[in-house]
Amino acid sequence: MPEPAVRRLVVGAIITGDDGRVLAAQRSYPEQFAGLWEFPGAKVEPGESPEAALSREVWEELGCRIEIGDELTRDGGAWPVNERLELRVYHARLVTPPTAGHAHHTVAWFPAAELPTLAWLPADTAIARLLADTAV
């Protein structure tokens, strides 16, 4: 029996403002994802911690610094993306303000209750619903 494939790790940031709104970024590419919303982040490089990858990617994509907080887990672990990728997401807060950059058409703040109304990347849909369901 063949060994199951090891999934590559990707990370995402749930950046929440002081007013409780959540930052979402609208992809500008690749074509199949253009116009969809995501929590900022990307693939973890070999030898890189998830937190270091998240800080690096948020800086590269949005030109801002974040303070990383607790991980939001699914059943105590990562969120499956597909047969090749799994996602770990972390709560975060901004240290410096974001800009859209080259990877995104726009970045915007949304009340958590409105998150499910956005067209999300498939991997982020369940996270957006969970945030809306647990919003105070």
In this predicted model, what pLDDT tens digit does every residue of 54-100 receive, in sequence order? 999 999 989 999 999 999 988 878 888 888 999 999 999 999 988 87
Dihedral of alpha carbons 76, 70, 43, 32, sign: positive
Percent of the chain residues past pLDDT 90, beyond the cut? 68
- pLDDT (average), residues 91-112: 89
* Per-residue pLDDT at 73: 87
Q: Can you give the pTM of this predicted structure?
A: 0.90
Confidence of residue 1 (pLDDT cuts 50, 70, 90): low
Local structure of 101: helix, strand or coil: coil
CA distances for 77 relative to 6, 26, 29, 47, 114, angstroms: 15, 26, 28, 20, 25
Local structure of 32: helix, strand or coil: coil
Residue among 44, 70, 118, 58 nearest 94 (CA): 58
Residue 136 has pLDDT above 90, yes or no: no
